[in-house]
Structure 1
Amino acid sequence: MFRPLELFIGLRYTRAKRRNQFISFISTVSIVCIAISVTALITVMSVMNGFDSELRARILGAVSHVTVSGIDEPVRDWQRAVDVAKTTPHVEGAAPYVEIQAFLQARRSSGAIIRGVVPSLEPRVSDLDQHMVEGKMGDLTDHSWNIILGKELALDLGVNVGDKVTVVVPQFTATPMGAVPKLRNFNVSGIFELGMQEYDSNLALISMPDGERLNGQAGATGIRLKLDDMREATPVAQLLVNELGQSYRVQTWMDTHANFFHAIDMEKTVMFIILSLIILVAVINLISMLMMLVTDKQADIAILRTLGSTPRSIMAMFMVQGLLVGIVGIAAGVTLGGLLSYNLPAIVKFIEHVTGHTFLAPDVYYISEVPSQLLWSDVGWVVLVTFCFSLLATLYPAWRASRVQPAQALRYE
């Protein structure tokens, strides 16, 4: 005989044709509502994961995972610091840099941060070479006095490749005419577009030797490191402090951008909670369906009680009913949510093509496509939360079924 008995009877009630078709309709509505809620939650979480991943890639494409700098003066023996960093676990690349705050003049004026880099080493720690719109990073040679501008910065200055830019450094030199700031003309040899306004409108690149001469000091401002796992930034920083000594300052990307990424994670958590309430509303239909089913099956419950079924057994039979509806809804929602998440960028492009309306205009938003990244850990949480809600929804109707009195239920049968 099929065991356990509660599962057998619960599944039989599900397969059997009910006398009251309205209960079947409510059951179908419950499945559809749960499926739609699960689909919506998985899709929204995937879109938020996509935006999070896109922002991390763009920000960390310009910001190093770990930065080593001198406390009060430039790092003069930066070659040693680079060698030490390369031998540290999880470090994939290291490159020196010189950073200068300057004022740029052309047709218009704008402030910016000028970073002196070594073109052969810079691709090991950043993705700027992959975002060149015009020119190439290899043009930043010693004594070339070439400069690469962010796209927004070039627009603000009103220049293009081949134009001249005057760089004004806030370091004053005494002359017969009085103290004057240091000036230097640079040739615009390239333009990059990282896709983040913070860098496209405020960052310019020059060769490191030219940066040292412009800064008036020999040595690097610091060393920028790229790790194979950015989550290891804090342990790596501690190792470098122990290796290099207290004369160096070591900072991680968490120190400079932790609040931003924490805000994204908090927003994702809040959205998960809010959309979970939608699932809770959908599960209310499950309670209504089970309450009507208990009323419809009172005679059957009474007969089972007279045959020796315990209240706990009766309760389990109706819990099987509710959980089956919840599991079917979850399975349908996960399937639809997974398909929608994987194909969302293509679906959005199709809708834009049909309607002629662009949701994320490139001239307004830096991220012009709707990204989507499905994480199975999120799917697991959605399944767990929905299953728990479905389980809780079955408890009260199943308890009411277990409290049915056989004599009262069979009085008018």
Structure 2
Amino acid sequence: MFRPLSIFIGTRYTRAKRRNHYISFISLTSLIGLALGVLAMIVVLSVMNGFQKEMSQRILGMVPHATLSAGKALADWRPVAEAAMRDKRVTGAAPFAELEGMLSFKGSMQPVQINGIDPEREKQVSIVGEHIVQGSLGDLRSGEFGVVIGEITARRFRLKIGDKLTLIVPEVSATASGITPRLQRLNVVGVFKVGAELDSSLALIHIDDASSILRLEPGQVQSVRIALKDLYQAPQVSKAIAAQLGDGYQASDWTRTQGSLFSAMKMEKTMIGLLLMLIIAVAAFNIIATLIMVVADKRADIAILRTLGATPARIMRVFMVQGTVIGSVGTLIGGVLGVIAALNISSWVALFERLTGTHVFSSDVYFVSNLPSDLQWADVALVCGAALLMSFLATLYPAWRAARTQPAEALRYE
């Protein structure tokens, strides 16, 4: 089989047993270091993707993907919902209202965001129904001023089903004080737990009760909430629907309320990826050291090849092939092990917890009770590509040094 001379000699140098065992050891550590770096980056990026996906499903499954409003109360929300549902990217629409206030119970107070919902249609636009731990959304009935609170709020106030608490809502008035508080008695009918900050800052009441607190006419709602197949398209989809509805309609989406959180998570992933890339860089420097010592060890061989007619460019390619082989093998091993680890790390951590009886991620402390992992092949390709590029760049200087070897000087003392 035909093989170019540079590839033949380069691969032979890679697998040959060298006289200097120290060089072989440095070469092996370079390969192992590169493999560990690739493995670590794939696993860490997959875990961070898992956390981001988990937080997206929990937080963005609770808050509106987008809302449509008219700048004033909607007398009939159904035409707006029907217009939104005609877009194939929309999966659900429901009446919605929101207000902010303070919850008070036996002298203790806590800020809260109150969402007015339609219990029958809420499952189309929210995951809250899947996370009710006490009571049910069906217990929210019009005119009864029932409330479903988060698990952290219930624990903080030591509330249980049937307890009553007070909602304090600021209201602009014509008096000298300007703002006067409004008080509304609420009855706890349910508790939800999604494992996020919303467990302490969100509460749900019936849409009719929310309209009453907001002093809207019977049947009027503040806005229409929509859910999307791809929540990252929320800004474009909601603006397009608002434009179709006509002048006066406005769109708001989750990027205005929760966008900073996910931007911070994305930046954190990027910074950790750059820091982990230093592991691969260290392995690449080891390749440089390995090839420099190989060049010194093979000076006589290089001189003989030069006298036989090998050009400096061909000599350079010989050592570039050797370094690239080390980098390719290390990247391949690290990539395979990283993919296997990323796909199984959740079950491995769960097995460790069962065998040791400990909880690495306690649901009482963390938002998640397991170690999530979401392997994305784009990350694998990026990591492996970066490792191969660094390995290739690491071969250039030693190969250039080898190409500059003078045959007469190298053979003088042989």
Letter of the structure 1 residue corresponding to residue 307 of structure 2: T
Give, in whole Å, the separation in 1 of the partners of 2:290 and 2:349. 36
Could you tell which deviates more after superposition, 162-171 or 305-314?
Answer: 162-171
Deviation, 1:347, is 2.8
Secondary structure of the corresponding residue to residue 252 of structure 2: strand
Q: What are the superposed Cα offsets for residues 56-101 of structure 1, whole Å, 9 maximum, x if unpaired? A: 1111011121111232x22222111111111124111111112233
Supply the distance in 1 between the matched residues of 2:182 and 2:389 (Cα, whole angstroms): 68
Kept in 1: contact 2:91–2:229 (CA 8 A): yes
Partner of 1:27: 27
Q: Give the alignment's TM-score, normalised by structure 2.
A: 0.92
Classify 1:395/1:111 alpha carbon distance in 2 versus 1 (closer, same or farther; 3 Å): closer
Displacement of 1:173 in angstroms is 10
The more displaced of 127-136 and 237-246 is: 237-246
Offset, 1:340: 1.8
Query: Cα distance 1:110–1:255, how it changes in 2: closer, same or farther (>3 A)?
Result: closer
Which amino acid is the alignment partner of residue 100 of structure 1?
A: L
Distance in 2 (CA, whole Å) between partners of 1:301 and 1:335 is 35
User: Which residue of structure 2 lines up, in the alignment, with residue 215 of structure 1?
Assistant: 214
The CA deviation at 1:302 is 1.4
- Is the Cα–Cα contact under 8 Å of residues 173 and 182 in structure 1 kept in the other structure? no
Matches within 5 A, 1:370-409: 370-409=371-410
Match of 1:203 in 2: 202
- Give the match for residue 86 of structure 1: 85
Please say if residues 33 and 279 of structure 2, whose CA atoms lie closer than 8 Å, have aligned partners that are also in contact.
no
Change (3 A) 1:15 1:182: closer
* Shift, 1:410, TM fit: 2.0
* Mapped contact 2:239–2:250 kept (Cα < 8 A): no
Mapped pair 1:167 → 2:180: no
1:359 CA drift (Å): 3.5
Distance in 2 (CA, whole Å) between partners of 1:378 and 1:173 is: 56
Q: 1:13 to 1:165 in 2, by over 3 A?
A: same
- For residue 327 of structure 1, give the secondary structure of its aligned residue in structure 2: helix
Q: Which moved more, 1:151-160 or 1:321-330?
A: 151-160
The change in CA–CA distance for 1:168 and 1:23 in structure 2 (over 3 A counts) is closer
The letter of the residue matching 1:227 is: L
How much identity, in percent, do the aligned residues show?
44
Aligned in 2, Cα 1:29/1:368: closer, same or farther, shift over 3 Å?
same
Separation (CA, whole Å) in 1 of partners of 2:184 and 2:408:
101
**CA offsets, 1:205-228, max 9 Å, x none?**
122122223332131111111111
CA deviation map 1:300-343 (0-9, x unaligned): 11121111111111111111110111111111111221222222
1:145, 1:20 → 2: CA distance? Answer: 83
2: CA distance, partners of 1:100 / 1:234 = 22
- Determine whether 1:46 maps to 2:46: yes
Q: What is the CA–CA distance in structure 2 between the aligned matches of 1:394 and 1:31, rounded to whole Å?
A: 14
* Structure-to-structure mapping, 1:70-85, within 5 angstroms: 70-71=70-71, 73-85=72-84
The match for 2:8 is 8
2:247 is paired with a residue whose SS is: coil
Q: Deviations over 1:132-160 (max 9, x none)?
A: 11111122232343221111222233311
The CA RMSD over aligned residues, in Å, is: 2.2
Deviation string 1:155-191 (CA, Å, 9 cap, x unpaired) is: 23331112223334445999xxxx9965443332210
Q: In the alignment, what sits opposite 2:251?
A: 250
| Letter in structure 1 aligned against 2:110 | S
In structure 1, what is the equivalent of residue 151 of structure 2? Answer: 151
Report the residue type matching 1:391 in the other structure.
F
The 8 Å contact of residues 110 and 157 in structure 1, kept in 2 or not, is answered as: no
Aligned position for 1:340: 341
Q: Secondary structure at the match of 2:100?
A: strand
Whole-Å separation in 2 of the counterparts to 1:117 and 1:206 = 6
Q: Give, in whole Å, the separation in 2 of the partners of 1:294 and 1:371.
A: 46
Evaluate the alpha carbon distance shift between residue 28 and residue 116 of structure 1 in structure 2; reply closer, same or farther with a 3 A threshold. Answer: same
Residue identity matched to 1:313: R
Check the 8 A contact 2:92/2:124 in 1, yes or no: yes
Over 3 Å counting, the alpha-carbon distance change for 1:189 and 1:9 in structure 2 is: same
Alpha-carbon shift at residue 49 of structure 1 (Å): 1.1
Is 1:277–2:278 an aligned residue pair?
Answer: yes
Aligned length: 407
Matches of 2:111 and 2:301 in 1, distance apart?
Answer: 82
CA distance in 2, matches of 1:208, 1:185: 16
State how far apart, in whole Å, the 2-side matches of 1:14 and 1:156 are: 65
Distance 1:80 1:362 in 2: 42
Q: Tell me the amino acid that sits aligned with residue 400 of structure 1.
A: R
Q: Structure 1's 121 and 314: CA in aligned 2 closer, same or farther, altered over 3 A? A: same
In structure 2, how many angstroms separate the alpha carbons of the residues matched to 1:114 and 1:411? Answer: 88
